[in-house]
Structure 1
Amino acid sequence: MVRCLYHSTIQEFINTSSETLLGMFINNYHGNALTITNESWSNEIEIMRETLLPWKFENGQIIFEYDIPRLGKRIDVVLLLRGIIFCIEFKVGEKNLLQSNIEQVMDYALDLKNFHLFSQDKIIVPILVPTKYSSCSSAFCYSVYDDSIYNPLVTGSKGLQKLISDIFIHSGATISNSSLGVDWIISPYSPTPTIIEAAKRLYENHSVEDITRHEADKVSTDRTISYILDVIKNSKEQKQKSICFVTGVPGAGKTLVGLDVAVKQSYQNGGKLIEDEGAVYLSGNGPLVAVLTEALAIDNYRKCKERGEKKNMSDSRREVGKFIQIIHRYRDNMLAKIKNPVENNTLEIDPDKAIKLTNAGYGEVEHVAIFDEAQRSWTHKRLADYLKRGGTYGNKLKIQNFPLSEAAFLIWSLDQREDWATIICLVGGGQEINTGEAGISEWINALNDKFTHWRIYISDKLTEKEYAEGKVNELLAKNDKVTFSSDLHLGVSLRSFRAEKLSAFVHSLLSFNPDATEWYEKIKERYPIVLTRDMDKARTWLRKMTRGSQKAGVLVSKASARFKPLAVHVLEQGDENAIHWFLEDKNDIRSSNYLEDAATEIQVQGLELDYTCVLWDADVRCENGKWKYYNFNGRTAWREEAGNTESSIERRKYMLNAYRVLLTRARIGMVICVPEGNHNKTAGGFPEDMTRLPEFYDGTYEYFKTLGLDEI
Structure 2
Amino acid sequence: MRAYYSADRDKFYADTPDHILGELARGHHFALDLEQKRAWQQQINLLRVALDDEETFTVHFEFAIPRMGKRADAVLMVRGCVFVIEFKVGSDQYDRHAVEQVEDYALDLKNFHHGSHHLSIVPILVPTWVTESKPYQLELALDQVAKPLLIAVADLAQVIRLISRSHHNHVDATQWLSSGYRPTPTIIQAATHLYATHAVTDITRSDADAINLGRTQTVLNDVIDTCRAQGKKAVCFVTGVPGAGKTLAGLNIATQRSASRDDQHATFLSGNGPLVDVLREALARDYALRSKARKSDAHRNVHAFIQNIHHFRDEYVRDEGPPSDHIVIFDEAQRAWTRAQASKFMQTKRAVADFDMSEPEFLLGVMDRHPDWCAVVCLVGGGQEINVGEAGLSEWMAAIRDRFPDWQVHASAQIVQPDYDLNNDARAFIASGQVTLHDDLHLGVSMRSFRAETLSDFISHLLNGDAEAARTAHASLDHYPLVLTRDLNRAKQWLRDQARGSERFGLVASSGAHRLRPEGLHIKAGIDPPVWFLNDRSDVRSSFYLEEVATEFDVQGLELDWTAVCWDADLRYLSGWHGQTFKGTRWQSINDRFRRLYLKNAYRVILTRARQGMVIFVPHGDDADATRPRAFYDGTWDFLLRCGIPAL
**Range of TM-score over shorter length:** over 0.9
> Does 2:307 align with 1:325?
yes
Aligned to 1:383: 342
Change in Cα spacing, 1:302 to 1:507, as seen in structure 2 (3 Å) is same
**What SS does the aligned partner of 1:231 have?**
helix
Amino acid corresponding to residue 462 of structure 1 in structure 2: I
Identity score, percent = 43
* CA apart distance, 1:28: 2.4
Name the aligned partner's letter for residue 374 of structure 2: A
Q: 1:473 to 1:433 in 2, by over 3 A?
A: closer
State the partner residue of 1:394: none
Report the Cα distance in structure 2 between the residues aligned to 1:92 and 1:533, rounded to whole angstroms.
47
Q: Which of residues 244, 250, 267 in structure 2 aligns to 1:280? A: 267
Q: Within the alignment, does 1:664 sit opposite 2:608 as a pair?
A: yes
Q: Indicate if the aligned counterparts of 2:250 and 2:329 stay in contact, CA closer than 8 A.
A: yes
Change in CA separation of 1:494 and 1:217 when aligned onto 2, cut-off 3 Å: closer
Paired letter, 2:353:
Q
Q: Distance in 2 between matches of 1:456 and 1:19?
A: 59
C-alpha separation in 1, matches of 2:303 and 2:599: 32
In the alignment, which of 185, 189, 194 is matched to residue 202 of structure 1? 194
User: Does the alignment pair 1:190 with 2:182?
Assistant: yes
Displacement, 1:474? 3.6
Question: How far 1:138 moved relative to its partner?
Answer: 3.1
Is 1:571–1:599's contact at 8 Å kept on the other side of the alignment? no
Match of 2:638 among 691, 697, 702: 702
Q: Which residue of 1 aligns with 2:138?
A: 141
Q: In 2, are the aligned partners of 1:571 and 1:598 still within 8 Å (CA)? A: no
Distance 2:457 2:39 in 1: 49
Q: Which runs of at least 4 in structure 1 moved beyond 6 Å after TM superposition?
A: none
Q: Does the residue aligned with 1:230 lie in a helix, a strand or coil?
A: helix
Question: Shift of the alpha carbon at 1:246?
Answer: 0.5
Alignment of 1:82-161 (within 5 A): 82-143=79-140, 145-161=141-157
The corresponding residue for 1:77 is: 74
What letter corresponds to residue 669 of structure 1 in structure 2? G
Does the Cα contact within 8 Å between 1:539 and 1:595 map onto a contact in 2?
A: yes
CA distance in 2, matches of 1:674, 1:582: 24
Supply the AA of the counterpart residue of 1:708: G
**Correspondences of 1:401-416 after superposition (within 5 Å):** 401-416=354-369
Contact 1:212/1:494, CA 8 A, preserved across alignment: no
1:401-455 Cα shifts (integer Å, max 9, x gaps): 4221001000000001101111111000111001111111000001111111111
Deviations 1:13-56 (A, max 9, x none): 1233222222222222211111100111111111111111111x
> Which whole-Å CA distance do the structure 1 matches of 2:308 and 2:211 have between them?
29
Partner Cα distance (1:389, 1:6) in 2:
64
TM-score (norm 2): 0.97
1:676 aligns with 2:626: no
Contact residue 216 and residue 440 of structure 2 kept, 8 A: yes
What letter matches 1:632 in structure 2? F
Which residues of 2 match residues 166-565 of structure 1 at below 5 A?
166-169=162-165, 172-173=166-167, 178-216=170-208, 218-268=210-260, 274-305=261-292, 311-337=293-319, 349=320, 362-391=321-350, 398-469=351-422, 471-476=424-429, 479-513=432-466, 514-523=468-477, 525-565=478-518
Measured in 1, the distance between the counterparts of 2:626 and 2:406 equals: 59
Higher mean Cα deviation, 95-104 or 212-221? 212-221
Q: Is the contact made by 1:503 and 1:664 (CA closer than 8 Å) also made in structure 2?
A: yes
Unaligned runs of 5+ in 1: 269-273, 306-310, 338-348, 350-361, 392-397, 680-686
Alignment partner, residue 58 of structure 2: 61
C-alpha deviation, 1:247, in angstroms: 0.3
Q: How many angstroms does 1:183 deviate by?
A: 2.5
Partner of 1:358: none
CA distance in 2, matches of 1:706, 1:137: 46
Partner of 1:40: 39
2:470 alignment partner AA: A
Q: Does structure 1 retain, via aligned residues, the 8 Å contact 2:567–2:617?
A: yes
Q: Judge conservation of contact 2:270–2:309 (CA < 8 Å) in 1.
A: yes
CA change 1:109–1:571 in 2 (3 A) is: farther
Q: 1:583 aligns with which of 534, 538, 544?
A: 534
Structure 2: how far apart are the matches of 1:474 and 1:183?
50
**Structure 1 residues 470 and 639, CA gap change in structure 2 (3 angstroms):** closer
Q: CA deviation at 1:217?
A: 5.9
Shift of 1:178: 4.3
With over 3 angstroms needed to count, the CA separation of the structure-2 counterparts of 1:17 and 1:205, relative to structure 1, is: closer
The residue matched to 1:612 in structure 2 has which SS?
Answer: strand
For 2:384 and 2:71, the matched residues in 1 are separated by: 37
1:64·1:78 contact (CA, 8 Å) conserved in 2?
Answer: yes
Q: Distance in 1 between matches of 2:202 and 2:518?
A: 46
Q: CA deviation at 1:185?
A: 1.9
Distance (whole Å) between structure 2 residues aligned to residue 187 and residue 474 of structure 1 = 44
Residue identity opposite 1:654 in structure 2: Y
Corresponding residue pairs, total:
647
Pick closer, same or farther for the CA change 1:470–1:521 going to 2, 3 Å. Answer: farther
SS of the counterpart of 2:595? helix
Check conservation: 2:184, 2:447, Cα contact below 8 A. Answer: yes
3-state secondary structure, aligned to 2:133:
coil
Preserved contact between residue 182 and residue 204 of structure 2 (Cα < 8 Å):
yes
C-alpha distance in 1 between matches for 2:337 and 2:406: 23
Give the CA deviation at 1:573.
Answer: 4.5
Contact 2:397–2:429 (CA under 8 A) maintained in structure 1: yes
Distance 2:277 2:487 in 1: 33
Kindly provide the amino acid, as one letter, of the partner of residue 9 in structure 1.
D
Match for 1:53: what amino acid? D
> Is the contact made by 2:271 and 2:331 (CA closer than 8 Å) also made in structure 1?
yes
- Is the CA contact (8 Å cut-off) linking 1:59 and 1:178 kept in structure 2? no
Aligned residue for 1:639?
588
Structure 2: unaligned runs, 5 residues or longer: none
Name which of structure 1's ranges 315-324 and 666-675 shifts more when overlaid on structure 2.
315-324
* Counterpart contact for 1:280–1:370, Cα < 8 Å: yes
Whether contact under 8 Å (1:611, 1:667) holds in the other structure is yes
Q: Which residue of 2 aligns with 1:614?
A: 565
Is the 8 Å Cα contact of residues 80 and 180 (structure 1) preserved in structure 2? no
- Residue-by-residue CA offset, 1:359-410 (whole Å, 9 max, x unaligned): xxx210100111000000011111111111133xxxxxx1114221001000
1:539 deviation in Å? 0.5
In the aligned structure 2, how far is the partner of 1:219 from the partner of 1:539? 35
State the Cα distance separating 1:205 from its structure 2 match. Answer: 3.5
Secondary structure class of the residue paired with 2:644: coil
Q: Structure 1 CA distance, aligned partners of 2:599 and 2:11?
A: 64
Q: Mark the CA change 1:150 to 1:228 in structure 2 (over 3 Å): closer, same or farther.
A: same
Q: Structure 1 CA distance, aligned partners of 2:136 and 2:290?
A: 38
Alignment-mate amino acid for residue 182 of structure 1: T
Deviations 1:269-328 (A, max 9, x none): xxxxx32221110000000011111111111111112xxxxx211221112111210000
List per-residue Cα deviations over 1:641-697 (Å, max 9, x = no partner): 2x3xxxx22111111110000111010111111110124xxxxxxx2x222211110
Provide the C-alpha distance between the structure 2 equivalents of 1:582 and 1:640, rounded to a whole number of angstroms: 33
* TM, length-normalised to structure 1: 0.89
Please tell me the residue identity of whatever aligns with 2:151: T
